[in-house]
Amino acid sequence: MSNERPKYILRDPTKSEEYKCILLEEILDDLCKVSDRDIFVMFPEDTQERKEYVKKEIIKTLKDV
């Protein structure tokens, strides 16, 4: 995951869903680091699908922590 994600998206209400996705991806990244899980993810382009996918991966990773 890239470290170049902008934090200012929250200020724009039309981007709130995108911001949520960014937060979820960062959480997944942090959890993978803590659990020593190597992960490579190709996210779906659709925001809702991406959120659901990342949530599933977070749950999988939490089981390993």
Q: How far apart are the first and last CA of the chain?
A: 20
Q: How confident is the model at residue 45 (pLDDT cuts 50, 70, 90)?
A: confident
Is the alpha carbon torsion for 27, 1, 39, 25 positive or negative?
A: positive
Domain locations in the chain as residue ranges: 18-36+44-52+60-65
What is the percent of the chain where pLDDT is above 90?
46
Greater model confidence, 65 or 41: 41
Residue 13 pLDDT greater than 80, yes or no: no
Greater model confidence, 15 or 20: 20
Report pTM.
Answer: 0.73
Judged by average pLDDT, the poorest of 16-25, 28-37, 47-56 is 16-25
